[in-house]
């Protein structure tokens, strides 16, 4: 049971981590100042969630790993994120569409 919970929370955390990084790529590149700040704040919100998720995952694992170890000391194949969050920021419309789809998907898992 603990392994299922570990994998479930890890998947949610990985989704938010990758999407937070993707949204952070837009810092300074939004079509307007307000939009740029909004995308950066979404990125920061996602990364804030990630820290809580990884702290919980580290607690569930019960070993010596910290949230930083779990987040960054894995190979790319060990991440459990959905493909949607890996998609590049092609243009602003695509990015907002991806964010909307992720938010609807993410809400179902919370």
What are 26-83's pLDDT values in tens digits? 888 878 888 889 999 999 999 999 999 999 999 999 889 999 999 999 999 999 999 9
Can you tell me which residue has the tokens 């990630």?
Answer: 50
For residue 91 the two structure tokens come to 């243009």
Kindly report the pTM of this predicted structure.
0.91
Return the domain boundaries, the chain. 2-109
* Topology adopted by domain 2-109: Ferritin (1.20.1260)
Element containing residue 54 per DSSP (H, E): helix 33-61
């Amino acid at each position: 049971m603990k392994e299922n919970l570990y994998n479930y929370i890890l998947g949610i955390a990985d989704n938010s981590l990758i999407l937070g990084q993707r949204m952070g790529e837009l810092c300074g590149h939004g079509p307007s100042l307000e939009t740029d700040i909004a995308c950066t704040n979404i990125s920061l919100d996602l990364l804030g969630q990630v820290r809580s998720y990884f702290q919980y995952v580290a607690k569930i694992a019960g070993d010596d790993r910290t949230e930083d170890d779990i987040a960054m000391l894995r190979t790319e194949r060990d991440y459990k994120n959905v493909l949607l969050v890996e998609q590049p920021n092609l243009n602003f419309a695509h990015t907002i569409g991806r964010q909307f789809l992720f938010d609807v998907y993410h809400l179902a898992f919370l």
